Amino acid sequence: MAKFMVSITHAKDNSDNATVGFVVANASAASGVETVVFLTTEGVRLSSKGYADDVHEEGFAPLKQLMADFVEAEGKIWVCSPCFKKRGLDMNNLVKGATIVGGAKVVEFLTTGGSCITY
């Protein structure tokens, strides 16, 4: 089975990229492809419950809805461990479907047939 990663490096600092990243991830997950959204650098903020509630880019569904759709389509959200730690975010406040991971998990995914696009 094909594997696809969408790396998202932005949150409210570039809500266009954050939103489009999930739009593409949803296209992948809904196509039956094993799909991971990797939230890294500033993008890790999207992993906190409530953070994305007020993000709604013109021309797209609200980010909160996009993220919920992604998880419903069996997509996984991986959250960069050192990026998360650096920002002092709360591990007990992760959105549904999110898991904290480090580099090895990402490397294994990409070196065993995974492809990646970055937003």
Partner 1 sequence: MSETNDQKNILPDAEIDLGEMGCGDLIIALMKALKLLKDGQVMRVRSLDSGAQADIPSWCRMRGHVFLAGPCGENNEYYYIRKGGCT
What does the binding site for partner 1 look like in residue numbers (CB under 8 A)? 78, 80-82, 84-85, 91, 99-105, 107-108, 111
Q: For residues 28 and 23, give the distance between their C-alpha atoms in angstroms, rounded to a whole number.
A: 9
User: Would you say 37 or 80 has its CB closer to partner 1?
Assistant: 80
Strands 98-101 and 114-118: unpaired
DSSP state of 95: P
Least CB distance from residue 111 to partner 1, whole Å? Answer: 7
Q: At closest approach, how far in Å is the CB of 35 from partner 1?
A: 17
Question: DSSP character for 64?
Answer: H
Query: What is the rounded distance in angstroms from the CA atom of residue 60 to the CA atom of residue 63?
Result: 8
Residue whose CB is less far from partner 1, 59 or 111: 111
Please identify, using beta-carbon distances, which residue of 38 and 70 lies nearer to partner 1.
38
Instruction: Using the minimum distance from each CB to partner 1, give the nearer residue, 95 or 100.
Output: 100
* Least gap, CB of 105 to partner 1 (angstroms): 4
Q: Smallest distance from the beta carbon of 56 to partner 1, in angstroms? A: 30
Instruction: Report the C-alpha gap between 10 and 20 in whole angstroms.
Output: 11
- Residue 69 and residue 14: Cα distance in Å, rounded? 21
